[in-house]
Amino acid sequence: MFVDSHCHLDRLDLTPYGGDLDAALEAARDRGVRRFLAISTSLEGAPNLAGIARRHDDVDISVGLHPLHEVAQEPDSEAIQACADRYGAVAIGETGLDFHYDSVPRETQRQRFVAHLRAARELELPVVIHTREARDETLALIREHVDPKVGGVLHCFTEDLEMAREALRLGFYISLSGIVTFASAEALRGVARQVPLDRLLIETDSPFLAPVPHRGHPNEPRWVVEVAECIAHERGITVDEVAMQTRANFYRLFPGCAPEGKADNPFV
């Protein structure tokens, strides 16, 4: 059974399913995907995500403000905590630093990131981090603000093995998306081969970054299987091994999730 550890269920292209999110989730379940972490990109979107989670026992949510999402007023740590408490979030994020674009000033991103990290520490929740072209500052702020016993995940990881190893040392997991299947991603496949299997997660980041052979189409949770298949091939192990270990890792990192048969689940 697979877990999609990072998907944007409120942003999926539901055209193939007649606009029906339930049908898209059922298509994923038919391929063995049994858990979905729906990731927030704005606090205003949290009520909608919470509504999805209420309708589906296999969906959990995070609460956070994406580093490139523009808002009229920046939320402080207390506002993020209140939102997470109100809507039952199991993680804080997606947050982080993205210096590839200038839509949100870098200093604003830094302050926003710190507010999220403080909220995560206060609530003892793992943090879901987006980082792009901001390696040193991302790691520095993690060192300063994150409790390694709680940790978090560098989602949609595209950096090098050195950064991955430092993140692991700081108590983080590494999550790989469909990018790992791209022909141009040989260096990332090297990371997939070398990061300890008990510290890996898999994700779609849907509707973005559809894996091979689905490139050019909006991504969806059922294609997390292709990510697992690529990792299995690179490591010379079975897809079942990847599925089982990444699922165990997911529940270890996100103990607030409630898997089916939780009382009998050895990973919780």
How confident is the model over 25-53, as a mean pLDDT? Answer: 97
CA nearest to 32, candidates 199, 219, 200, 240: 240
User: To the nearest 10°, the Cα dihedral for 235, 210, 105, 121?
Assistant: -50
Name the average pLDDT for the chain: 95
* 125 token code pair: 């929740």
**Distance spanning both ends of the chain, measured CA to CA:** 15
pTM metric for this prediction: 0.94
Q: How confident is the model at residue 262 (pLDDT cuts 50, 70, 90)?
A: very low
Enumerate residues 6+ apart whose C-beta is below 8 A from 197: 235, 237, 241, 242, 245
pLDDT band of residue 25 (cuts 50, 70, 90) is very high
Per-domain boundaries in the chain: 2-255
76-104 tens-digit pLDDT: 999 999 999 999 999 999 999 999 988 99
Write a three-state SS string for 158-177.
CCCHHHHHHHHHCCEEEEEC
Question: Is-cis flag, bond preceding 241, omega within 30?
Answer: no
At 223-241, the pLDDT tens digits run 999 999 999 999 999 999 9
**pLDDT score for 258:** 61
Q: Residue-wise over 84-114: b if at least 16 C-beta within 10 A, else e?
A: beebebbbbbbbbbbeeeeebeeeebeebbe
Q: What percent of the chain has pLDDT over 70?
A: 96
Q: Under CATH, which number does the domain 2-255 receive?
A: 3.20.20.140
Backbone angles phi, psi at 132, to 5 degrees: -150, 120
The angle formed by the CA atoms of residues 28, 42 and 202, to the nearest 5 degrees, is 35
pLDDT at 257 over 80: yes
Query: Residue 166: what are its φ and ψ, rounded to 5°?
Result: -70, -40
pLDDT at 237: 98
CA distance 102 to 152: 26
Do residues 175 and 155 make contact, with C-beta atoms less than 8 angstroms apart? yes
* Averaged pLDDT for residues 163-169: 97
Distances in Å between the Cα of 99 and the Cα atoms of 35, 105, 137, 150, 168 are 31, 9, 10, 26, 22
Angle, helices 106-123/135-145, rounded to nearest 10 degrees: 30
108-161: pLDDT as tens digits: 999 999 999 999 999 999 999 999 999 999 999 999 999 999 999 999 999 999
Q: Is the pLDDT of residue 244 over 90?
A: yes
Q: Give the three-class secondary structure for 220.
A: coil
Q: What is the pLDDT of residue 266?
A: 41
Provide the residue count of the chain: 268
pLDDT value of residue 102:
80
pLDDT at 230: 98
